[in-house]
Chains A and B, each alone.
Chain A
Amino acid sequence: MEQAIQSTLREKANRALGVNLKDAKLSKAYLSVSFITLLVGGILGLLQGLERSGLLELPAWLNYYQVLTAHGILLILIFTSTFTIGYLYAGVSHTLGGLLPKVRKMAWTGFVLMLIGVALVVITIVANEASVLYTFYPPLAASPVFYIGLVFVVLGIWSCCFGVFINYNHWRKNHRGEVTPLLAFFAMGVFVLWFFGSLGVTTEVLTLIPWSLGWKETINVMVSRTLFWSFGHTLVNIWYIVATSAWYVVVPKIIGGRVFSDKLARLVVVLLVILNIPGGFHHQIIDPGISESVKFLHVFMSISIAFPSLMTAFAMFAVFERAGRKLGGKGLLGWFKKLPWGDVRFLAPMVAMIAFIPAGAGGIVNTSNQMNQVIHNTLWVVGHFHLTVGTSVVLTFFGICYWLIPYLAKRKLTPQMNKLGVIQTIIWTVGMILMSGSQHLVGLLGDPRRTAFTTYGDHNTALSWVPYEYVMGIGATLLLIGVIIQVYAVFNMMFFAPKGETEFPIGEPEDDALPTPIWMERWGLWIVLMLMVVAMAYVVPVVDFIVNAPPGSPPIKTW
Chain B
Amino acid sequence: MNTTKANISKQQEGADDVKSLKGTLVSTGIVGAVIVIMWVAVFWLYMTRL
A binds B: yes
Interface residues of A (CB under 8 A from B): 310, 313-314, 317-318, 320-322, 325-326, 330, 332-333, 335-336, 357-358, 360-362, 364-365, 368, 370-371, 373-375, 444
B27 vs chain A, min Cβ distance (A):
4
Determine whether B45 belongs to the interface, using a CB cutoff of 8 Å to chain A: yes
- Cβ–Cβ contact B38 & A358, under 8 A: yes
| In the complex, chain B residues whose CB is within 8 Å of the CB of A373 | 46
B7 interface hit (Cβ, 8 Å): no
Q: How far is the CB of B46 from chain A (nearest CB, A)?
A: 5
CB distance from A104 to the nearest CB of B (A): 41
- Known contacts A314-B28, A317-B27; A332/B22 CB under 8 A: yes
B18 interface hit (Cβ, 8 Å):
yes
Given that A370-B46, A374-B46, A444-B45 are known contacts, is A326 also in contact with B24, CB under 8 Å in the complex? Answer: no
Q: In the complex, are the beta carbons of A361 and B38 less than 8 A apart?
A: yes
Could you tell me if A318 and B24 are in contact, using CB atoms closer than 8 angstroms? yes
Q: List 10 A-B contacts (CB under 8 A).
A: A310-B28, A317-B23, A317-B28, A325-B19, A335-B23, A357-B31, A361-B38, A370-B46, A371-B46, A374-B45
* Nearest Cβ on chain A to B36's Cβ, whole angstroms: 8
Return B39 CB to nearest CB of chain A, in Å: 6
Distance between Cα atoms of A361 and B34 in the complex (Å): 7
Asked whether A358 lies within 8 Å of B34 as measured between CB atoms, the reply is: yes
A375 touches B31 (CB 8 A): no
Which listed residue (B18, B20, B24, B42) contacts A317, Cβ 8 A? B24
Closest to B30 in A: A357
Contacts of A325 in B (CB 8 A): 17-20
Q: How many A-B residue pairs have CB under 8 A?
A: 69
Residues of A within 8 A of B1 (CB): none
User: Do most interface residues of chain B lie in helix, strand or loop, or is the interface mixed?
Assistant: helix
Return A325 CB to nearest CB of chain B, in Å. 5
Given contacts A317-B27, A371-B43, 5 further A-B contacts (CB under 8 A): A310-B31, A325-B18, A332-B26, A360-B35, A362-B38
Q: How far is the CA of A310 from the CA of B39 in the complex (A)?
A: 16
For residue A455, give the distance in angstroms from its CB to the closest CB of chain B. Answer: 22
Chain B residues within 8 Å of A322, by CB: 18-19, 21
Closest B residue to A375 using CB positions: B42
Residues of A within 8 A of B5 (CB): none
Nearest residue, chain B, Cβ from A331: B23
| Contact A321–B24 (Cβ < 8 Å) | yes
**Chain B residues with CB under 8 A of A326:** 18
Closest B residue to A319 by beta carbon equals B24
For A445, give the chain B residue with the smallest CB separation: B45
In the complex, the answer to whether B42 meets A444 with C-beta atoms within 8 Å is yes
Would A330 and B38 be within 8 Å (CB), given that A314-B28, A317-B23, A371-B43 are in contact? no
A444 to B43 alpha-carbon distance, docked (Å): 11
Complex: A286 Cα to B19 Cα, angstroms: 48
Instruction: Evaluate whether A318 and B21 lie within 8 angstroms (CB atoms) in the complex, with A444-B42, A444-B45 already known.
Output: yes
| B23: chain A residues within 8 A (beta carbon) | 317, 321, 332-333, 335-336
Q: Contact at B42–A374, with CB atoms within 8 Å?
A: yes
Q: Do A365 and B34 touch across chains, with their CB atoms under 8 A apart?
A: no
Within 8 A of A (CB), among B9-25: 17-24
Given the contacts A317-B24, A321-B23, A325-B18, A364 and B46 also touching, CB distance less than 8 Å = no
- Taking a contact as CB atoms closer than 8 A, the residue among A318, A320, A364, A444 that contacts B35 in the complex is A364
A334 (CB) vs chain B CBs: closest residue: B23
